[in-house]
Chain A
Amino acid sequence: MSRSRAMEAVAAPAAARDPSVRELADMQLVRRAQVSADAEAFAELVRRHQARVRGMLLRLCGGDGALADDLAQDVFLRAFRALPRFERRAEFGTWLYRIAYNVFLNHTTRTRRFDPISEGTERRRPAPPASHPDRGDVRRDLERAIAQLPVPYRAAVVLYYLRDVSYAEMAEILGLPLGTVKTHLHRARARLREIMLAWDETDGPEEAAR
C-alpha cells in the first residue's frame, strides 16, 4: 500500500470510512486482521490504541517524544507481524502493552540504560537532572520525575495510570507476580511523590538532591 493510499484509508473523514469497522470490538477487528489481513481492521486497531501505547512509551522514555514514537511504530509493526499467532486469550490492549514493554526493555538493553532496582533505592535522593525543570510545567516535571525511577517501578506506575489496566494485567505485562507488582507500584508512587514534593519544597531539583 502506498503512502497516499495509507493516508486515504486512515485520514478519510469518519463518515467516509467503513462504518462497520468502527463499530467492531477489538477482538472482531483482530479476527478480521488475522483471517484476511484486513488493512482497514488493523488501521482501526492502531487508531484506537496508539494514544495509550505512545503515552506509555513517552513516560517510560522520560518524555522523549521522538524516541517514544519510533518505539511505538516498532510495537505496532511487531504486533502486525505476530498477529496471526495472537491467541486471543488476553485483551488485545494487554498484548500490545506487553509488546511495548518488551520493545522498551530491548531498547534500554541496547543503549545500556536499563536500571534494575538496586539495594537502597528507596533511601537514595533523586539524582539531579541535567537542567532545571520549568516550574510552571507540571507535566514536564512529572516526566522528569518518572524518568528518575528505576525501570520496573517506572513501568508499574505508568501502567497504573493508564487506567484501563488491572493489577492482573500489569502482572502479565511486566512478567511479575501480582504481589511484586503491587509492591512496586506502592513504592513507585511514594517515590514519585517524594521527588515531586522535594522539588516543590526547595528551589528546584538540584537543591532537593543535596
Chain B
Amino acid sequence: MTAQHRALRAFLRGCDVPARVLAHDPTGASWLPAELRRWALDDPAARRTIQRFVAAELALSQAPAPFDDAPFVATVVERAQRMPRAAAGVDLRATILFAAHLLAVVCAAYVLSWAVPDAPAAADGAVERVLASAQGAAAEAWGLLPGLQVHLAWGVAASALGVGWLVARRVRLPHTLRA
C-alpha cells in the first residue's frame, strides 16, 4: 500500500461528510482534499475505495426496513388486542418504591418502639407542651424529649421518611422497569 493509499484511508476513516453531500458529490470534488483528489482521479483502486466508501455511507443513511408494511402492523395490532394492558396509574416502579418506603417506615417504627417504649405518650406530651407555649422555641421542644434514645429514634424515623421521599423522587431504576 502506498503512502497516498494510507493517507486516503486515514482521511476516509475520520471524515464527517453529511450523506446529502455525498449523494450530490460522490467523487469528492467538494469534500476530498485537493491533493488526494488529484491523485485519486488517476488511480483506479483509489476511485474504487472512494466509491465503496460513499456507497456504504449512503446505505447507512437509508432506512433498512420497508417504509410501510401493512401485514406487520396488522400482526402487531391483532396481538396487542389479545393482551392485557397495564392499568393507568399502577406503575411497577411506583409499587416497588411504595413497598420500600413502607418497609422503611415499619423498621423505623420498630426501632422507635424498642428504644422508647413510652414514646407515643412522651411525644404527645411534648407536642402538647410545645403547642401550649406561644413562643415554643425549637430549643425548648428539644429539651422536652426524654433522653438521647428518643432523639436517636426520631432521627431514624425521620431519616427513613427522608430517604424514602428522596428515592421516590430521584432514583433511576433500570431501563427494564422504566419501559
Contacts and interface: CB of A to CB of B under 8 A. Distances in A.
A10 B73 contact: yes
Contact of A55 (B52, B53, B63, B82): B63
B77 A39 contact: yes
B59 interface: yes
Nearest to A140: B59
B80 A197 contact: no
Contacts of A193: 12-13, 53, 56
Nearest to B67: A51
Contacts of A73: 72, 75-76, 79
Interface string A148-174: 000000000000010100000000000
Interface in A25-77: 34, 37, 39, 42-43, 46-47, 50-52, 54-55, 58-59, 68-69, 72-73, 76-77
A84 B9 CA distance: 50
A84 B68 contact: no
B175 A102 contact: yes
A138 B72 CA distance: 26
Contact of A84 (B14, B74, B86): B86
B147 interface: no
A77 B9 contact: no
B49 A3 contact: no
B74 A6 contact: yes
A78 interface: yes
A51 B130 CA distance: 67
Interface in A80-115: 80-85, 95, 98-99, 101-102, 106
A6 to B, nearest CB: 4
A77 B68 CA distance: 18
Contacts of B176: 102, 106
Nearest to B64: A55
B88 A2 contact: no
B49 A142 contact: no
Contact of A80 (B5, B13, B60, B83): B83
B38 interface: no
Contact of A138 (B13, B55, B175, B178): B55
A19 to B, nearest CB: 17
B74 A3 contact: yes
Contacts of B91: 85
B61 interface: yes
Contacts of B86: 81-85
Given A73-B75, A193-B12, A80 B80 contact: yes
B175 A98 contact: yes
Interface string A191-205: 001101100110000
Interface in B33-56: 48-49, 52-53, 55-56
Nearest to A53: B65
Contact of A1 (B1, B48, B73, B77): B77
22 contacts: A1-B82, A6-B78, A10-B74, A47-B68, A47-B70, A50-B69, A50-B72, A58-B65, A69-B72, A73-B76, A73-B79, A81-B84, A84-B86, A95-B179, A102-B179, A106-B176, A138-B55, A138-B56, A161-B61, A193-B12, A200-B49, A201-B49
Given A84-B85, A200-B49, 9 more contacts: A1-B81, A1-B82, A50-B65, A51-B67, A54-B72, A77-B76, A84-B86, A161-B61, A193-B12
Interface of A: 1-3, 6-7, 9-11, 34, 37, 39, 42-43, 46-47, 50-52, 54-55, 58-59, 68-69, 72-73, 76-78, 80-85, 95, 98-99, 101-102, 106, 138-139, 141-143, 161, 163, 175, 190, 193-194, 196-197, 200-201
